[in-house]
Amino acid sequence: MGDRVRLQHQPPTAMTFNPSKALIALVGLVCMTVLIAVGQIDQDQGLPIITMIVGYSVGNGMAALTNKPVEPIIKKKAQ
């Protein structure tokens, strides 16, 4: 009958188009983790901030993959 070609589903490849936004999120995540680890911030106070950083990053990534508009972290004031 011949050879069948089997197609495999390839997940979309994500690229960082806004490295400064990713860097801000990464620095914030690392700083909060270190502050919790050394005991300068209680876990009860730091974990919600870490959750917010991760959630914001994942939400922006998912929006970008589905071609939805993504709000910037910092933007110019409307005049």
CA distance 32 to 27: 8
Tally of CB atoms within 10 A around 36? 18
Residue 77 makes CB contacts below 8 A (sequence gap 6+) with none
**Taking the model in full, what pTM does it have?**
0.59
Tally of CB atoms within 10 A around 8? 4
At 76, which amino acid appears? K
Residue 46 makes CB contacts below 8 A (sequence gap 6+) with 32, 33, 35, 36
Query: What are the boundaries of each domain within the chain?
Result: 42-66
pLDDT in tens, 14-62: 555 667 777 888 899 999 999 999 999 999 999 999 998 888 877 777 7
